Amino acid sequence: MSSCPPALERSGVQQRRLARAGGSRVLGYVSVALGVLGCGAEAETPALAQRQQDIYRGSVDTTHLAVMYLFNQAGLACSGTNLRSNDGQGFLLTAAHCVTSLTAVGPVAVTPQGLLVVPGSDVSLSSVAYGVQQVHVPETFAGVFGSDDIAIVRFFFGSDPAPASIEALPLADDDLAVGDPFVLVGFGRTETTAENTQRRQVQRFVNGIDSQLVLYSQADGRGSCSGDSGGPGLIQRGGAERVAVVISGGVDFSGDPCSGGFGFGTRVSAYEAFIRGVLDTFEQCESCTARAATICETGLAACNADGSCSAYLACDQLCIDEDCRVSCVIEHPEGYVALRNFTECVCGACSACAETPGCERPACGFAEPEALCPCVSDNCCTIAADCQADAVCEACVSLPGFELGCAESVLLQELGACLSTCEAACSAP
């Protein structure tokens, strides 16, 4: 009787291709999700190949300008997606194994000077290459394929035109499920050449998924290959493309790591805190608000369509005192609520603006803790802050005569209940 294949071991670094440990998590995925691995006599240990060099049997891609070629001067090639262009800097989302070297103590980020970011649909025709300023890798990355295999490369384009960008899919919008389509984009090896220089794309479907990994079949001979590591899996959300997956590696049964087997990618939303931590560190408030406005303006569609936003603004702009402004809110509540929620959306998306006028908020929503009764500051601060950030709840509390939505506001009811529990304690001498 034969036994199950042992856990795969690291096979060493080769130029333009890496083979690294996938381990039981990857093998379990294949067996459970698609039922193709087992412990019988015919089971074979699959070759595990990380996609270090192109999209197999896909088509030339001339539209995803944000997807760029990442060249490691040690001889490795990968792909990546520019998440943001800001103040002469770009932020390329890629795979951690593309920008680290294996040492006796584990993976270590390569020096920025050893990397180049090259834009263009055909890198052999590109006259531009951007230098890299910094490499960001999660502290949890241990050099194992399919596990925390994500990184951000900060590059400098200076006064050149800002490169195109595609934002990472936020956790709140990530509803990926088995059967959903997505588009892989990358550079590198194709079915006809190992030294491809063109950006290419191919559609795949989710075959297995958990909080950190996405699995897709390549049994039809189409999918990712060497050099696609770090490239994106793109989906449509909210009318725009978002990076949902970062190509990491694959499992192969046929001997050809690019024509068959399965591909794996890192689920981007699982690393939202890591990504935002890097981006927010290097973003100015002004550029962030301009970027966030395009995301947050979707909530203004109905308000702009029925004229309530313009009516409120026209009223408010004529005011010279606070009483007049309050009257405009009471007279045009729909416009006020929509515009206030727009402001809160922008402020929430831009931590760099936290202390600027318009975004600065007291710790307890309507007041600082030291100005409140201890019972309220100890128990009601979180609810009060949530209420203050909600246009309807805030107006119901702050503006006498404002009624739109007050009776239905859950936040207002929760705040009232919390304050009621403190009434006796706060009225005691």
CATH among 2.60.120.380, 2.60.40.1120, 1.50.10.20, 2.40.10.10 for 1-283: 2.40.10.10
3-class secondary-structure state, position 47:
strand
The closest alpha carbon to 213, from 173, 167, 158, 250, belongs to: 250
Instruction: Give residue 41's pLDDT.
Output: 31
Question: Contact, 394 vs 387, CB < 8 A?
Answer: yes
Total number of residues shown for the chain: 429
Query: Structure pTM?
Result: 0.61
- CA–CA separation, 418 vs 103, rounded Å? 55
Burial 379-418 (b: 16+ CB within 10 A, else e): bbbebbbbbbbbbbbbbbbebeebebbbeebebbebbeeb
Instruction: Give residue 353's pLDDT.
Output: 78
Question: Contact, 234 vs 199, CB < 8 A?
Answer: no
DSSP calls for 70-85: EEETTTEEEEEEEEEE
The full set of domain ranges for the chain reads: 1-283, 284-359, 361-429
Instruction: Give residue 7's pLDDT.
Output: 27
Pair of tokens at residue 360: 């600065």
Instruction: Give residue 9's pLDDT.
Output: 27
Between the alpha carbon of residue 117 and those of residues 28, 105, 122, 230, 246, the distances in Å are: 35, 28, 13, 12, 17
- Which segments in the chain show pLDDT lower than 50? 1-54, 56
238, exposed or middle or buried, with CB in 10 Å at 0-12, 13-18, 19+? exposed
Instruction: Give residue 255's pLDDT.
Output: 61
Question: Contact, 196 vs 188, CB < 8 A?
Answer: yes
Instruction: Give residue 221's pLDDT.
Output: 79
Helix, strand and coil percent figures for the chain, each rounded to 5: 35, 25, 40
DSSP calls for 183-249: EEEE-S--SS-TT--B-EEEEEEEEEE-SSEEEEE-TTS-B--TT-TT-EEEEEETTEEEEEEEEEE
CB neighbourhood size of 7 (10 A): 13
How wide is the angle at C-alpha 39 spanned by C-alphas 36 and 40, nearest 5°? 90
Instruction: Give residue 257's pLDDT.
Output: 57
Instruction: Give residue 258's pLDDT.
Output: 64
